[in-house]
């Protein structure tokens, strides 16, 4: 029996199986289609076979990175969530996915990667706390620049910069897109009948992070929450297909008992030790030896008691 394909994706938080839109799209489609993937949730994209996330390594050692490419591959392996769609439903699905790419994706990039308070307090903080040292010092900033370039490409403006007018325009387009999706969904459980399709995976992957993250600037989130059927759609998919993640809540980044905070503290200690060792070996810092006599206490002085300290390790 052939080994299963391996899916590398960003790890989860906020009650989601992954914090990444692209990773969520692929995870949802694989669940809907019943694809038996070997899942590897990581926080270091350099451990991925493509150097980015998500990435699918097939049992033929081929690597695919774009969600559309991964979904096409799974369909070729007979894992097709769109098998029962009619020709018209298939065309409608492609039309709505294109609409999201044009109207919704730019607003999502702006919300998580460009809007200053959201980026600093949520996006950059999450990636910096979950990535290993030293990637957490420079990779979030590089990812932000890549997202800005993607936004400029989608908008067709190489000089595009953040601002109030741009924000209003992007959020207006995104609200229009969400309204159309809400109208198409109506009172149904999924967009086409009783079974989820690729459109359901794309909608869930794009809207679930907006719904579940705790954003300081939550204008887009507020509009999504006003559309009850879309909010319930995301919640139902979490409960049906990701029950372990769907019960979770967003972690508090200030909680000192959070294992992520402990891991970050230990990483800082290791980094400090490495830098001190380097300084000693390179001669930047030297330890002077003094005569023992100079260290002896005067007879009328008593030594100060000392206490041993133990470092707290991982439980």
pLDDT at residue 273 is higher than 80: no
pLDDT at residue 45 is higher than 60: yes
pLDDT attached to residue 262: 47
pLDDT at residue 7 is higher than 80: yes
pLDDT at residue 163 is higher than 90: no
pLDDT attached to residue 81: 97
How many C-alpha atoms does 277 have within 13 Å on its Cβ side?
6
Report the alpha-carbon distance of residue 261 to residue 6 in Å, rounded.
29
pLDDT attached to residue 216: 95
pLDDT attached to residue 275: 52
**pLDDT tier for residue 304 given thresholds of 50, 70 and 90:** very low
Domains in the chain, ordered, with CATH? 6-242 (1.20.1050.10)
pLDDT attached to residue 202: 98
Q: In the chain, pLDDT over 90 holds for what percent of residues?
A: 71
pLDDT attached to residue 85: 95
* Between residues 1 and 18, the one the model is more confident about: 18
pLDDT attached to residue 3: 82
pLDDT attached to residue 283: 56
pLDDT attached to residue 2: 73
Report the alpha-carbon distance of residue 290 to residue 171 in Å, rounded.
69
Report the alpha-carbon distance of residue 196 to residue 114 in Å, rounded.
32
DSSP class per residue in 252-288? -TT-TT-HHHHHHHHHHHHHHHHHHHHHHHHTSS---
For residues 224-239, average pLDDT: 97
Report the largest interatomic distance among the alpha carbons of the chain, rounded to a whole angstrom.
97
The whole-model pTM stands at: 0.79
Report the alpha-carbon distance of residue 276 to residue 266 in Å, rounded.
15
Spell out the residues 6+ positions from residue 109 whose beta carbon is closer than 8 angstroms to its own.
Answer: 147, 148, 150, 151, 154
Query: Cβ distance 43 to 130 under 8 Å?
Result: yes
For residues 257-282, average pLDDT: 49
pLDDT attached to residue 92: 97
pLDDT at residue 220 is higher than 60: yes
Instruction: Count Cβ atoms within 10 A of the Cβ of residue 63 and give its class: 0-12 exposed, 13-18 middle, 19 or more buried.
Output: middle
Query: Cβ distance 97 to 199 under 8 Å?
Result: yes
Query: Cβ distance 8 to 57 under 8 Å?
Result: yes
pLDDT at residue 24 is higher than 50: yes
Mean pLDDT of the chain: 84
For residues 114-118, average pLDDT: 95
Report the alpha-carbon distance of residue 74 to residue 68 in Å, rounded.
10
* Between residues 53 and 313, the one the model is more confident about: 53
pLDDT attached to residue 145: 96
pLDDT at residue 95 is higher than 80: yes
pLDDT attached to residue 161: 79
**Tens digits of per-residue pLDDT, 143-158?**
999 999 999 999 888 8
pLDDT attached to residue 1: 60
Single out the residue of 67, 69, 23, 14 nearest to residue 42, CA to CA.
Answer: 23
Report the alpha-carbon distance of residue 181 to residue 170 in Å, rounded.
17
CA torsion 173-178-180-182 (nearest 10°) is: -170
pLDDT at residue 160 is higher than 60: yes
pLDDT attached to residue 282: 54
* Between residues 30 and 161, the one the model is more confident about: 30
Single out the residue of 45, 240, 35 nearest to residue 142, CA to CA.
Answer: 45
CA dist list (Å): 236 to 18, 80, 229: 16, 21, 10
For residues 1-12, average pLDDT: 89
Peptide bond into 200 cis (omega under 30): no
pLDDT attached to residue 292: 41
């Amino acid at each position: 029996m052939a080994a299963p394909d391996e899916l590398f994706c960003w790890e989860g938080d906020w009650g989601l199986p992954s914090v990444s839109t692209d990773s969520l799209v692929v995870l949802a489609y694989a669940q809907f289609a019943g694809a038996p993937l070997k899942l590897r949730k990581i926080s270091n994209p350099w451990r991925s076979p493509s150097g980015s996330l998500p990435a699918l390594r097939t049992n033929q050692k081929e690597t695919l990175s774009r969600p559309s490419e991964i979904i096409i591959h799974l369909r070729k392996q007979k894992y097709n969530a769109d098998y029962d769609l009619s020709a018209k439903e298939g065309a409608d699905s492609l039309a709505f996915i294109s609409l999201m790419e044009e109207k919704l994706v730019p607003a999502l990039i702006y919300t998580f990667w460009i809007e200053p308070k959201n980026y600093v307090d949520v996006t950059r903080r999450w990636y910096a706390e979950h990535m290993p040292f030293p990637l957490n010092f420079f990779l979030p900033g590089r990812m932000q620049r890549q997202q800005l370039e993607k936004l400029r490409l989608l908008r067709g403006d190489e000089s595009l910069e953040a601002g109030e007018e741009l924000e209003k325009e992007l959020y207006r387009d995104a609200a229009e897109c969400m309204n159309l999706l809400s109208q198409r969904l109506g009172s149904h459980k999924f967009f086409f009948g009783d079974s989820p399709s690729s459109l359901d995976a794309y909608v869930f992957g794009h809207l679930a992070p907006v719904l579940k993250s705790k954003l300081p600037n939550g204008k887009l989130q507020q509009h999504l929450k006003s559309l009850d059927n879309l909010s319930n759609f995301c919640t139902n998919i979490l409960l049906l297909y990701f029950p372990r993640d769907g019960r979770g809540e967003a972690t508090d980044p200030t909680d000192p008992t959070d294992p992520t905070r402990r891991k970050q503290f230990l990483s800082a200690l290791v980094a400090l030790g490495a830098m001190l060792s380097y300084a000693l070996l390179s001669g930047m810092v030297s330890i002077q030896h003094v005569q023992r006599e100079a260290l002896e206490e005067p007879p009328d002085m008593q030594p100060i008691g000392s206490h041993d300290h133990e470092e707290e390790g991982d439980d």
